[in-house]
Amino acid sequence: MASQADILQALRGVNDPEVGVNIVDLGLVYSTEIQGGDVRIAMTMTTPACPMHSYLTEEAREAILSQCDEVEKVNVELVWEPPWSPRMISEKGKRQLGWL
C-alpha cells in the first residue's frame, strides 16, 4: 500500500508553472487519504480564479498514478477553506522563491 510519504513525494514532482514551486512546498496540498488502492487529495489553488486548476489537478492525479504502482484510483478535490495564503509555503518553497 502507498504511504502518505509516497503520495507527497509524487506530488512534489508537480510544479505550479506560474510560480515554479511544487504544489506541496507551495502549500496547495491540504490533505491526503489512502484507503487500499484509492487515494483522495484535498488541495487548493492560490486563488479561486486560478486558470491552472484543471492542469494542476490532472498533473497531481497522473503523478500519483505513475509513481505509486499500488494506487488504482485518485480523486483530487479542490477546496477553498481555509483560503490559501503565502504563509502556507514551506521553507524550501520560500528559498526557491528567494524569500529566505
* Tens digits of residue pLDDT in 29-40: 999 999 999 999
In a domain, 90, yes or no: no
In a domain, 74, yes or no: yes
Tally of CB atoms within 10 A around 81: 6
Q: What is the pLDDT of residue 22?
A: 98
Name the residue range of residue 46's domain: 4-85
| Phi, then psi, of 60 in degrees rounded to 5 | -60, -45
Prior bond to 86 cis, omega within 30?
no
- CB-CB contact of 47 with 65 (8 Å): no
Nine-digit cell string for 68: 505509486
In a domain, 13, yes or no: yes
13: left (phi over 0), alpha (psi -120 to 50) or beta: alpha
Residue of 14 and 50 predicted with greater confidence: 14
Q: How far apart are the first and last CA of the chain?
A: 37
Give the CATH number of the domain where residue 71 resides: 3.30.300.130
In a domain, 95, yes or no: no
In a domain, 51, yes or no: yes
Q: What is the pLDDT of residue 58?
A: 97
In a domain, 29, yes or no: yes
What is the pTM assigned to this prediction?
Answer: 0.93
Q: What is the pLDDT of residue 56?
A: 96
pLDDT band at 100 (very low <50, low <70, confident <90, very high): confident
In a domain, 96, yes or no: no
Interhelix angle 53-67/4-11, rounded to 10 degrees, is 130
What is the number of domains present in the chain?
A: 1
pLDDT tens for 45-96 read: 999 988 889 999 999 999 999 999 999 999 999 999 999 999 999 999 999 9
Q: What is the pLDDT of residue 98?
A: 93
Q: What is the pLDDT of residue 1?
A: 85
In a domain, 69, yes or no: yes
